[in-house]
Chain A
Amino acid sequence: DADVTQTPRNRITKTGKRIMLECSQTKGHDRMYWYRQDPGLGLRLIYYSFDVKDINKGEISDGYSVSRQAQAKFSLSLESAIPNQTALYFCATKDPIGETQYFGPGTRLLVL
């Protein structure tokens, strides 16, 4: 769904570096989410936001932080990247009526 975009799509970084993954949406949804996907572990929720002033930790928030700059933008930061944060990261928005989540294309992150 082109209404949810993520940048960059691929990123290689080194241990200890700070990086930011960005998510933008044009769906007008208030609710946005960050997940990581690992083989054999499925998707796990990192952070979620119900509006620009409401940010909540998910099940695996340690080592991550987020910023909701506007309704349309929700960024995920790794303050000091470590190799076990190598994963595929997905941003999603949620339709408040239909309850459907719409996912971005994902950012593939490799931490060396």
Chain B
Amino acid sequence: AQRVTQPEKLLSVFKGAPVELKCNYSYSGSPELFWYVQYSRQRLQLLLRHISRESIKGFTADLNKGETSFHLKKPFAQEEDSAMYYCALMITQGGSEKLVFGKGTKLTVNP
């Protein structure tokens, strides 16, 4: 079964501390993974995707196929990073494709 697991519903860290939001996936094909972020009262927006291998707002995520993981990391968290974070997997089946989202992790960065 194709699914995305974010084991932590809530994650709280202090400003300046490192943060890691975990994401594991299950997919028989070649995975294409994304992190979306939703700040308070705002729409979801793409944070980063594994194919681009870029760093956005100091966040990085590396695809580890052996561990089927795509954890999101930032070395020094900022208060403005407080938000809901969703890991998503693009599933392609018989010509159709869709995103499957994890249940999300709410990150709170305390001053």
Binding site for B on A (CB under 8 A): 1, 33, 35, 40-45, 48, 50, 56, 58, 90, 92, 99-101, 103-106
Contacts and interface: CB of A to CB of B under 8 A. Distances in A.
Interface string B81-101: 000001000100000101111
Nearest to A35: B101
Interface residues of B, number: 22
22 contacts: A1-B43, A33-B99, A35-B101, A40-B9, A40-B103, A41-B103, A42-B101, A42-B102, A42-B103, A45-B98, A45-B99, A56-B96, A58-B98, A90-B43, A92-B44, A99-B32, A99-B34, A99-B51, A100-B34, A101-B46, A103-B45, A106-B43
A56 B98 CA distance: 10
Contact of B98 (A33, A40, A104, A105): A33
A42 to B, nearest CB: 4
Contacts of A45: 98-100
Q: Is the interface of B mostly helix, strand, loop or mixed?
A: strand
A90 B96 contact: no
B104 to A, nearest CB: 5
Given A42-B86, A56-B96, A58-B98, A100 B103 contact: no
A99 B31 CA distance: 13
B45 A48 contact: no
Nearest to B95: A50
Given A43-B101, A103-B45, 15 more contacts: A1-B43, A1-B45, A33-B99, A40-B9, A40-B103, A42-B104, A43-B86, A44-B101, A45-B98, A45-B100, A90-B44, A92-B44, A99-B49, A100-B34, A100-B46
B86 to A, nearest CB: 6
